[in-house]
């Protein structure tokens, strides 16, 4: 890790989860003023050039053994077939390594697009005290309707009693309380489970607050950006996936 974390602390942070970062996304985040920014890197390659260029950002790398030691594994195994992913590292970092530094943390995958910092700060103002905000309706999918909506449940081993919940977690804001709930599960069961079920299920298990804002409804599994209708929501909404990072830059420069 390349920081001592002795800087003045803001109430909230952003964690961008990447295999390897791109300058376009880092240039964008380097302009932010309301958040401490962390880049959680899954790759073991040296990031010294990024650390030198982006001194205002916290570039985070650590060995996956640390995740294994604490039971932080399998969070995105279904998605990328890796026992330890950037998600496991991000959750470990904010719930174990610096567990008390922030009231809330935005976790964002690098194919998530939003126009400007105000998109997130406006969501923070509207949903100030929610433990979890994400594109999730928080309706149980493993009690009465599992046959109608089988989804990925047969692949997910959840140690908690039903009901269980799922949603799109490519961008989500989690509170310190929720992160400690995730830590409790990892300590107790020596593993975690797929993030799309993990975050809402832990939220409901501990009776934490939650909301699925309209501004995150375009965070879905697959979609194409609609140049006619989506542009009308650019100042308020978040979009996923937009995998072409050059498209991010193009939309921000329009």
pLDDT at residue 78, as a whole number: 94
Total tally of structural domains belonging to the chain = 1
Q: What is the mean pLDDT of residues 92-121?
A: 97
Nearest to 53 by CA among 32, 27, 35: 27
Under the banding of pLDDT at 50, 70 and 90, the label for residue 151 is confident
- 125 has a pLDDT exceeding 70: yes
pLDDT at residue 160, as a whole number: 96
Tokens representing 75 are 């969070």
Residue 166 domain-assigned? yes
For the chain, percent of residues with pLDDT exceeding 70: 93
Q: How does pLDDT run across 156-202, given as a tens digit for each residue?
A: 999 999 899 999 999 999 999 999 999 999 999 999 999 999 999 99
Residue 1 domain-assigned? no
Phi and psi at 122, nearest 5°, equal: -65, -40
Residue 108: domain span = 12-253
CA distance 252 to 167: 27
Q: How does pLDDT run across 216-254, given as a tens digit for each residue?
A: 999 999 999 998 999 999 999 999 999 999 999 999 998
pLDDT at residue 147, as a whole number: 61
- 126 has a pLDDT exceeding 90: yes
CA distance 124 to 117: 11
Residue 2 domain-assigned? no
Residue 223 domain-assigned? yes
Residue 40 domain-assigned? yes
- 72 has a pLDDT exceeding 70: yes
CATH code, domain with 46 = 3.90.550.10
Q: Are 32 and 120 in contact (CB under 8 A)?
A: no
């Amino acid at each position: 890790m390349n920081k001592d974390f002795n800087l003045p602390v803001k109430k909230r942070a952003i964690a961008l989860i990447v295999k390897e970062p791109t300058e376009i996304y880092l240039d964008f985040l380097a302009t932010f003023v309301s958040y401490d920014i962390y880049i959680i890197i899954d790759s073991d390659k040296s990031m010294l050039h990024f650390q030198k260029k982006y001194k205002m950002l916290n570039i985070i790398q650590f060995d996956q053994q640390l995740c294994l030691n604490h039971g932080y594994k399998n969070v995105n195994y279904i998605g990328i077939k890796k026992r330890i992913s950037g998600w496991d590292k991000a959750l470990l970092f904010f719930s174990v390594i610096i567990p008390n530094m922030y009231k809330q943390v935005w976790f964002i995958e690098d194919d998530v697009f939003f126009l400007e910092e105000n998109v997130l700060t406006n969501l923070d103002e509207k949903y100030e005290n929610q433990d979890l905000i994400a594109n999730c309706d928080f309706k149980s999918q493993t009690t009465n309707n599992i046959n109608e909506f089988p989804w990925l449940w047969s692949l997910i081993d959840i140690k908690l009693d039903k009901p269980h919940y799922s949603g799109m977690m490519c961008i989500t804001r989690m509170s310190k309380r929720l992160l400690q709930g995730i830590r409790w599960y990892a300590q107790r069961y020596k593993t975690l489970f797929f993030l799309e079920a993990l975050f809402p299920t832990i939220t409901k298990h501990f009776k934490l607050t939650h909301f699925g804002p309209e501004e995150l409804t375009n965070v879905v599994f697959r979609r194409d950006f609609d140049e006619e209708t989506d542009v009308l929501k650019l100042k308020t909404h978040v979009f996923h996936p937009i995998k072409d990072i050059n498209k991010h830059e193009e939309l921000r420069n329009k």
